[in-house]
Amino acid sequence: MGEDRWKCRFCLSERKQVKNKRYANLVQHIEKEHPNWKEEIKIPSSTEKERNVFGWLDLLTGKSTLPYTSCEDPLFLQYSRLKKMDSDTFLQYAHLLVASVEEKIKTSVEEKISKELPDKGGLMFDQWTDSGNHYVGLFP
């Protein structure tokens, strides 16, 4: 959108911001057309346990060189806001995260391949030997 054009995230209508009125007309639109906007934008809050698990996953994966047992280390915990977590529990959550990401990647790749490949097709396979060298040919 342009500098003075805005799109409502609720109804997707375009609004123009009136100069010298700041955001008054945009706020009026929200209050008039979407009276329950405060309820509509509430994001479900995460629990303390969820924040703790995410904190450990964020800290101990990726670019970190810390061992995964850091979540049990009393000295490390002394300087961290995260709560203690058993290292086996951490590994279970890490495996669940990896499995979830792998499934999303697999689904995405399958969708892209199915869009690219024709409904029908064939495959030809050939093999031969020449001067002691073995060759295999695969032709789509």
pLDDT of 77 > 70? The answer is yes
Domain count, the chain: 2
pLDDT of 114 > 80? The answer is yes
Q: Is residue 122 part of a domain?
A: no
Q: Which domain holds residue 10?
A: 5-40
Q: Is residue 131 part of a domain?
A: no
Same domain, 56 and 20: no
Which CA distances in Å does 105 have to 10, 54, 58, 66, 109? 30, 21, 20, 27, 6
Same domain, 63 and 107: yes
Same domain, 53 and 36: no
Same domain, 56 and 110: yes
Asked if 41 contacts 33 with a C-beta cutoff of 8 angstroms, the reply is no
| pLDDT of the residue at 7 | 85
Residue, of 1 and 68, whose pLDDT is higher: 68
Same domain, 53 and 35: no
pTM: 0.51
